[in-house]
Structure 1
Amino acid sequence: MSTWTEDQLARVGEAEEVQLTSTRPDRSLRPYVTMWVVRAGDDLYVRSAYGATNPWFVRALASGRGRIRAGGVEQDVHFVAADPGVHAGIDAAYHTKYDRYGPAIVGTVVGPEAAAVTLRLVPAED
């Protein structure tokens, strides 16, 4: 697995939304879904606002691979579980970036329940 360049981190991290898709077993791409994305340190994260049964999340976990588009960046990615110690920083990033939408909306992607449905986006080399 690879790492993001500083330019990619800035562009995706500053984008309002990311378009994300997972791969099917035949490696074709599913339709894109639009969601929020945050940067915490040198990593990019997404969370399932509607829990672990949200279809995009189930498919992303099953395939482990996909593609994102945001901020002029289009990149194949691996979906990786976030390390346990990073969730406070991810919560803070969501609050900083999206609190203007109100606590009811931001509340769906922060806190202990959101930690369980957090995926780190890791650039794929192949």
Structure 2
Amino acid sequence: MSNWSTAELNAIDSVDEVVIATRRRDGSLRSDRIVWLVRHDDAVYVRSVNGTTAAWYRGVQTAHQGRLGAGSVDRDIVFVEVGDHVGQPTALDDALDAAYRSKYGKWSGPVASITSDVARETTLRVDPA
């Protein structure tokens, strides 16, 4: 499981937009992308609103490493696959959907997209490196 400090979790949870950059095989960082992260218990999760075809998500698949900037938090991270979500919603999916609705509910259209089956298939846990 993740090793975020309480202060880091609170900082991440307090901002709407988070910046991530994925690492290439050679260790260099790709361009920053703005994403929505949610906290569930003591872990942080991200999804691709555009599914598996999004450039940043494809970049994750190269090395499962990157960099996160969220408020006062600026850390190297690892992306952890959390299982096969294709057509098989889990309790975690439901909890993350609720977290996205709670945190980002003022934007109903994007929330519907980030809680869709297409986005659920891309769920990743984000841990500090």
TM-score by length of 1: 0.90
The answer to whether the Cα contact below 8 Å between 2:2 and 2:126 also exists between their aligned partners in 1 is no
1:89 aligns with 2:72: no
Give the corresponding residue for 2:80.
80
The answer to whether the Cα contact below 8 Å between 2:2 and 2:42 also exists between their aligned partners in 1 is no
Give the corresponding residue for 1:69.
69
Structure 2: tracts of 5 or more residues without a match: 84-89
User: How far does residue 2 in structure 1 lie from its aligned partner after superposition?
Assistant: 5.3
1:48 aligns with 2:64: no
Aligned residues between the structures: 123
User: How far does residue 112 in structure 1 lie from its aligned partner after superposition?
Assistant: 3.0
User: How far does residue 113 in structure 1 lie from its aligned partner after superposition?
Assistant: 2.8
Structure 1: tracts of 5 or more residues without a match: none
Provide the aligned C-alpha RMSD in A.
1.5
TM-score by length of 2: 0.89
Output aligned runs, 1:1-126, within 5 Å: 3-82=3-82, 84-102=90-108, 104-124=109-129
- How many Å separate the matches in 2 of 1:2 and 1:16? 21
- How many Å separate the matches in 2 of 1:50 and 1:2? 25
User: How far does residue 63 in structure 1 lie from its aligned partner after superposition?
Assistant: 1.4
